[in-house]
Amino acid sequence: TELMAYAAALPKAELHLHIEGSLEPELMFKLAQRNKIELPYKSVEEIRSAYQFSNLQDFLDIYYQGMSVLQTEEDFFDLTMAYLNRVRADNVRHVEIFFDPQGHTARGVPFGTAIGGILTAFSLAKIQFGMTTKLIMCFLRHLPEEDAFDTLKQAEPWLDQISGVGLDSSEVGHPPSKFERVFARAKELGLKLVAHAGEEGPPEYVYEALDQLTIDRLDHGNRSLEDQALIERLVREEMTLTVCPLSNLKLCVVDDLTSHPIKRMLDLGLRATINSDDPSYFGGYMNENFKGIIDALDLSKDDVRTLCENSFRGSFLSDGEKRAQL
Ligand code: ES4
Ligand code: ZN
């Protein structure tokens, strides 16, 4: 459609992307062979057909198993380059990438191996594609806060190359309040703060992320719509929400894309953005997420432009860098 062509061509920033969730079955298979790692799959097709889940936990089990092929700095470099090269075609000009250091250090892969490969890819993408990048280190919320403190300690040599910390993994039963102290420490260190909240968890978790973690940006936030006072607060505070339509569909946060709340969010005045979350697992990168909502919802040209503008507005670029993109 004409609207989709318009969306595809607009410059965008991606603000919610787990780099480990961009691992395509082809690369997973290649890295398993390169590193002599046994996968429970005999072919690329078998990997793809194993991607069946209907909630966050079932997905996470497959996601953590998939990342076991990532062993060397070169693996993390190849993974990151493949993602950046892919979204260049979607006119993504700036990315703020999440990584899960504990998903690697728990397997004996050093923190420096993971971050080293990612940062080398960032440097090359700046030179080759003119893309700007930022890195956000996520704490796994199903693990104790003490483990998050350990991870923050391991990050110390790289703090000048880490823009912020986030909170991901199994939401229900692991409220933001569990990480209040480690987020306060990250804030003291000058890091930006984001957290997944209100994906499967209740509006109360969004309040905790705002009040106890003092987040700068809200990842997902879908269930905020259940609470009118919370909606009004998010609008008033100009909070950016990083919404992930195809992820919401695959994890059954929505029944189908025609009932996706992104249009309602925009009409309410919420600063929503479009993101791919784990594109290899959820069936599409940035522009495929736009295609999904454009085909399903009655979005206007203004809506599409607002979504793209919100992505730069809500980014951690400086005001000058934002102005250059908007
Ligand atoms: C995630 Cl969709 C989602 N939610 C929570 N944690 C995650 N880690 C990777 N993808
Ligand atoms: Zn996510």
Q: Which residues of 137-159 are buried (b: 16+ CB within 10 A; e: fewer)?
A: bbbbbbbeeebbbbbbebbeeee
Q: Say if the ipTM goes beyond 0.95.
A: yes
Query: Best mutation site among 19, 199, 205 for ligand 1, i.e. most ligand atoms within 8 A of its Cβ?
Result: 199
CATH architecture for segment(s) 2-23+80-315: Alpha-Beta Barrel (3.20)
Locate 11 and state its tokens.
Answer: 């410059």
Q: Which atom of ligand 1 is nearest to the CA of 168?
A: 6
| 11 Cβ neighbours under 8 A, 6+ residues apart | 91, 93, 308, 312, 325
pLDDT digit string, tens, across residues 233-261: 999 999 999 999 999 999 999 999 999 99
Residues with CB under 6 A from ligand 1: 18, 21, 56, 63, 168-169, 196, 199, 247, 277-278
Confidence of residue 287 (pLDDT cuts 50, 70, 90): very high
* Digit-coded pLDDT (tens) for 141-191: 999 999 999 999 999 999 999 999 999 999 999 999 999 999 999 999 999
The values of phi and psi at residue 172, to 5°, are -65, 130
Residue with the smallest CA separation from ligand 1 atom 5 is: 169
What string of H, E and C letters represents the secondary structure of 31-51?
A: HHHHCCCCCCCCCHHHHHHHC
200 as an active site residue: the answer is no
Give tens-digit pLDDT for 109-139: 999 999 999 999 999 999 999 999 999 999 9
User: Which residues, in sequence order, are bridge partners of residue 92?
Assistant: 12
| Dist. CA 10 → ligand 2 center (Å) | 23
Q: Which residue, judged by its Cα, is nearest atom 1 of ligand 1?
A: 169
Structural domain boundaries of the chain? 2-23+80-315
Residue whose Cα lies nearest atom 7 of ligand 1: it is 169
Find the 218 Cα to ligand 2 centroid distance in Å. 11
